[in-house]
Amino acid sequence: MKCCLGAFFLEDYGSSFKTTNKDYLPAIKKASALVVEASGLTSHAAVVGLSLGIPVVVGATDAVSKVKDGSKITVDARRGAVYLGEASNI
């Protein structure tokens, strides 16, 4: 998936944020995965992602600065890993 930073997303795009709140909900609903710098299993991103069935990685240090807008990433939410580029088998 491609990563898009900011408020506008297309389907099959992941998103990378420092943190989220209810204002991000329309964009989150269009994202295929969330990568968030703020950590916590009860964080807004974790709760919303779980309720929407979207893979979420929380506590991703420096995610916003390391993943550039338009970058292709692979999110492995089970392992809490984010890989630059596409991976066919995780």
**Tens digits of per-residue pLDDT, 4-30?**
443 323 344 456 667 788 888 888 888
What is the pLDDT at residue 63?
Answer: 80
The whole-number pLDDT of residue 7 equals 30
> Is pLDDT of 57 > 80?
yes
Distance separating alpha carbons of residues 11 and 56, to the nearest angstrom = 16
Q: How confident is the model at residue 52 (pLDDT cuts 50, 70, 90)?
A: very high
Task: Provide the percentage of residues in the chain whose pLDDT is more than 90.
Answer: 4
Residue 2: what residue type?
A: K
Q: What is the mean pLDDT of the chain?
A: 76
User: Which residues, 6+ apart, have CB-to-CB distance to 5 below 8 Å?
Assistant: 15, 16, 17, 64, 67, 68, 69
